Chains A and B, each alone.
Chain A
Amino acid sequence: MYDDTIAAIATSLGNSGINIIRISGKKSLEIAQKIFIGKKGIKLKKLKQRYLHYGHIIDPENNKVIDEVLLTYMKKPYTYTKEDVVEINCHGGVISSKKILELILNNECRLAERGEFTKRAFLNGRIDLIQAEAVMDIISSKSNKSHEISVNQLEGRLSKEIIKIINEIMGLIANVEVNIDFPEYDEDQVTIEQIKKTSIKIIDKIDNLIRTSETGKIYREGIKTVILGKPNVGKSSLMNFLLNENRAIVTEVPGTTRDTIEEYANIDGIPLRIIDTAGIRETNDKVEKIGVEKALDKLRDSDLIIMVFDASKELEEEDIKIIEYIGNKKSIYLKNKTDLEELLDLSDYPKIEESIIDISIKNNEGLDKIVSKIKDMFMSGVINVENDLIINNMRHKNLLINSRNSLDEVLKSINNHMPVEFLEIDLKNCMENLGEIVGKSVSDDLVDKIFNEFCIGK
């Protein structure tokens, strides 16, 4: 029924040690054979059906091993979707699952939409009628939302960049269209040379964006985590611990001020975006005041707050202020400096007292408890970063690659001396792919652009 092959990570990323990547559709087997090698290190000409193959996923470009996996091939129609299905059990956490999926998507295969396997299962008659409602629910609740999220996740600077590229291409197309539809008017004729130049320039920009997406900078992604506490309570040491001890991916986000620094940490596959605040306290210093206000701003839309108390000091005005700021937000309370004499009394705050974790960063005590607490909260769903984060990154990257490929086609057509209306087809494809990233339907804007920018008509 469907021509295209789809793939996705079927498990929830970060929640478990093993991830399952599912491919469904005509090309499933072909793709699997391309990227999978058996235990003897050779590609298998034939994959036995319904058999758990042990082996490795490799990057066919350089034969580098990506992950150790178990792979199953199931022939249609006796599969979940009633199509050919390949499932890959991999266990390298988020990074390698992502890499495997990317390898799959390099072939004639696209990322599955939310609920699409189930949708196919239903439409192909695999799932019974009673479940139809549930299928519709999944699709309507998840995909509308995930689309919205996907657009929102994009880093502001990048979405601006993409919109700029879209406008550039659209300007070019609008001009081409005016030349075509209103040939009698003496608007500037777009020359093939111009299209070539612009295409090359934009390819360069898109390539840059693709590289950016690989280093993860494309998103303000991760569980937004703010560490709070009065000065000298150990915030920075805690941050360093979270960053260093857990193979942190440290990226400095450009454009942030010296007052709040954002760092990315990866706690067993759970992406944390840690915002180090300048500390919250009353201040009259103008510069510092801006910093504090910024910190409070960050606080407002954070997913998780880690508040650090100083065990060696009594509860102070500043602590109380912070407790009040936090209110009912998802939070973890830490009592640092437990190696010193304890003066802190939290009996006025029984809830905090009950859940507080005793640590001593200096003596490296209790820190593992923080990690397991974060993991607990993540897995129990108290805090969550949906697969969306990781998936959208891939989706966007894919769209970027598609749009770059369209421009390659434009250049190819130019070399073949194709007339301008043929070039326009791929220019439009490029524009639409980019539009999808920023959540804009661009084709409708084209007619507006034509009339806004060109003086045409009788």
Chain B
Amino acid sequence: MDKVKKFLSDKYDVVVIGAGHAGCEASLACARMGMKTLMLTMSLDSIAMMPCNPSIGGTGKGHLVREIDALGGQMGLITDKAMIQCRMLNTSKGPAVHSLRAQADKRKYHVAMKQVIENEKNLYLKQGEAVEININNDEYEVLTRTGSYYIAKAVIVTTGTYLKGRIYIGEVNYEGGPSGLYPSNQLSDSLKKLGIELKRFKTGTPARVDGNTINYSEMQVHEGDIELIPFSFLTDKVDIEQVPCYLTYTNEETHKIIKANLSRSPMYAGEMESVGPRYCPSIEDKVVRFSDKPKHQIFIEPEGLDTNEVYVQGMSTTLPEEIQIKMYRTMEGLENCEIMRPAYAIEYDCIDPTQLNRNLEMKNFKNLFFAGQVNGSSGYEEAAGQGIIAGINAALNIKGKDSLILDRSEAYIGVLIDDLVTKGTDEPYRMMTSRAEYRLVLRQDNADIRLTQKGYDVGLVDEERYKKYKEKNKNVRQEIERLKNTKLTPKREINEVLEKLGSVPLKTPITLYELLKRTELSYKNILELDKERKKLPKIVIQQVQTEIKYEGYIKKQLKQIEQYKKLENKKIPEDINYNEIKGLRLEARQKLSNIKPDSIGQASRISGVSPADINVLIIYLEQQLRLKKERGEDL
């Protein structure tokens, strides 16, 4: 490395290191906001790669994709192009937890995303391994392994699981990146040299099996929805031939093999000390921790249309390849399966995300951003959600504008980032709807209403999307108004319809709006009572109906949000010295000095900061404010 002659390759506004889901959204956001952007990746063939499950969305995650889309991101659009099956989850529950999940053709996803990136104005795509980030006169120099270096005003690090990646398969372990790729071994040291604190996380993926060697006939078939709902607010219709997924189970024999070979799993042998995610447990973990369960679900998901490889969800493991073959073959339908890629665990460097501000910029380094798995998160959608925010804020910084910070009441993305930077994480962080306090308001059907204006204001959302959002919003509002103003009187023909629908007849006049609150009635089934209505898109109807049916609850939540916002809007100046504030307990002082919250609201979420500390802080801020005023008067 030292012998390589360095040369200045080019200057950019932003250099994005990494081309995974975070990198793609970050780069596209920057480029679309007018930044000359370089996307640097170790392999052009692994852009937007899905090294784990071939699916996008799921509960919470589907919400994230909708939000990325609403802000002007790409993930939803590409998923609509690359999906080979799609379902709306939780339809038996309420609207707040409906969530889209699609099986994606991995290759198609990669190709479609790569094309968008290649064709994006302002976006330059280069293959190269970033090995150093240096600071020079307020600018960054990103050096590649082959000696070229790039000067940038801002850098976004989205290195995923590549940093000092190490692969574990049974007794074997070696340096490696995900899915047979190379690791990035030098950049970590450069980050450390800058004083950035690193942690070591791990994650795992199951084996890929040759679909031709599976006997599907005995497995449960999981088909997609009959009517497909697209991820993107821009996609009107998804027209694809769907392929099924399958369900099989582990059994006693599988568990026996696993238990007999536990000592050969590096996690159990104590060779891996890094922390893995609890929601992605290896099969050995499941068998040991839930030993009373006689079987575990295993989902068989196709990796794409032009490959026979299938993903065996639920069978992630670090047991040796030999054992993997044995245990996979114990399962119904997999008796003769051939493993094409063995399961592995990967261990990697990530940063402690509490070093970041809520705009995803390093607290100690202006214009140095981090997004995605390198921040301790897990999942494509979580990565992409951070990516778009880092991209937007890098561009805003360069333009000298205020950051875009989504708060917990505005978006799942806000919850995700706030959790990461305020509380940190001890394991790869996965989005779950239960992490969101204001779930009723943060629905997937209203992501555009929540966020598209913001995306437009920062210059990322284009006119087409903006117009569409405006139109939808107008339709929703107008329809609600119309329903509020349309009255039914207790006439016989009306009451007959109501009785037919199992609803109580009217005694006094009622608006359609109030009528729709009845559980047994829906927008669809009262058509006979509402002949004036014009045809509206489904998504509009759904939103209208949700807002009416759950009005009371939503209002209650909006009130809570109002309270929450009060504390969020109490800003803490950057130059505050917590050691100066006598009333704070030592622990609170340390925590606050470390996390540097930007508002009283954020401060109150730091563990180890008590309500009393927050009160002291509020008084202190008021005191400072008055002191400033007094000084101003003196002048």
Which residue of chain A is the closest to B60 with respect to CB atoms?
Answer: A181
Q: Is the CB of A140 within 8 A of B611?
A: no
Q: Is the CB of B519 within 8 A of A139?
A: no
A458 and B90 in contact, given A140-B616, A447-B434 (Cβ under 8 angstroms): no
* A180–B313 CA distance with the chains assembled, in angstroms: 19
Which residues of chain A have C-beta atoms less than 8 A from B52's C-beta? 458
CB distance from B327 to the nearest CB of A (A): 16
Which residues of chain B have C-beta atoms less than 8 A from A184's C-beta? 89, 297, 299
Stretch at the interface among A64-72, A91-99, A449-457: A449-457
Which residues of chain A have C-beta atoms less than 8 A from B277's C-beta? 457
**What is the size category of the interface that chain B forms with chain A?**
35 or more
Which residue of chain A is the closest to B439 with respect to CB atoms?
Answer: A421
A144 and B97 in contact, given A422-B550, A450-B434 (Cβ under 8 angstroms): no
B591 in the interface (beta carbon within 8 A): no
CB distance from A381 to the nearest CB of B (A): 23
Contact with A along B422-452 (1 / 0, CB 8 A): 0000000000111100011000000000000
Contact with B along A414-458 (1 / 0, CB 8 A): 001111111001000000000000000000101100110001111
Q: Is the CB of A177 within 8 A of B432?
A: yes
A132 and B619 in contact, given A421-B94, A422-B553 (Cβ under 8 angstroms): yes
Q: Is the CB of B59 within 8 A of A457?
A: no
A135 in the interface (beta carbon within 8 A): yes
* A183–B279 CA distance with the chains assembled, in angstroms: 14
**What is the size category of the interface that chain A forms with chain B?**
35 or more
Q: Other than the known A137-B582, A447-B434, A450-B432, what 9 A-B pairs have Cβ atoms closer than 8 Å?
A: A132-B622, A136-B583, A143-B612, A144-B612, A184-B89, A419-B94, A447-B435, A455-B296, A458-B53
Q: Is the CB of B611 within 8 A of A143?
A: yes
Contact with A along B558-577 (1 / 0, CB 8 A): 00000100000000000000
B485 in the interface (beta carbon within 8 A): no
CB distance from A350 to the nearest CB of B (A): 44
* A419–B627 CA distance with the chains assembled, in angstroms: 52
Q: Within residues 405 to 420 of chain A, which ones have a CB less than 8 A from any CB in chain B?
A: 416-420
Which residues of chain B have C-beta atoms less than 8 A from A185's C-beta? 297
Q: Within residues 337 to 365 of chain B, which ones have a CB less than 8 A from any CB in chain A?
A: none
CB-CB nearest 3 A-B residue pairs: A419-B94, A136-B583, A140-B583
Stretch at the interface among B132-140, B259-267, B285-293, B406-414: B285-293
Contact with A along B138-156 (1 / 0, CB 8 A): 0000000000000000000
B280 in the interface (beta carbon within 8 A): yes
Contact with B along A144-171 (1 / 0, CB 8 A): 1001000000000000000000000000
Which residues of chain B have C-beta atoms less than 8 A from A420's C-beta? 93-94
A186 in the interface (beta carbon within 8 A): yes
Which residues of chain A have C-beta atoms less than 8 A from B557's C-beta? 425
Contact with B along A113-156 (1 / 0, CB 8 A): 11100010011000001001101110111011001000000000
Which residues of chain A have C-beta atoms less than 8 A from B626's C-beta? 129
Which residues of chain A have C-beta atoms less than 8 A from B280's C-beta? 457-458
* A187–B434 CA distance with the chains assembled, in angstroms: 17
Which residues of chain A have C-beta atoms less than 8 A from B519's C-beta? 416-417
A182 in the interface (beta carbon within 8 A): yes
Contact with A along B566-603 (1 / 0, CB 8 A): 00000000000000011111000000000000000000
Which residues of chain B have C-beta atoms less than 8 A from A137's C-beta? 582-583
Which residue of chain B is the closest to A142 with respect to CB atoms?
Answer: B612
Q: Is the CB of A123 within 8 A of B96?
A: no
Q: Is the CB of B433 within 8 A of A180?
A: yes
Q: Which residue in A132, A181, A455 is a CB contact (below 8 Å) of B434?
A: A181
Q: Is the CB of B619 within 8 A of A119?
A: yes
14 A-B pairs with CB atoms under 8 Å apart are: A132-B622, A137-B582, A139-B612, A139-B615, A180-B434, A183-B59, A186-B297, A419-B94, A419-B95, A422-B550, A425-B557, A447-B435, A450-B434, A458-B280
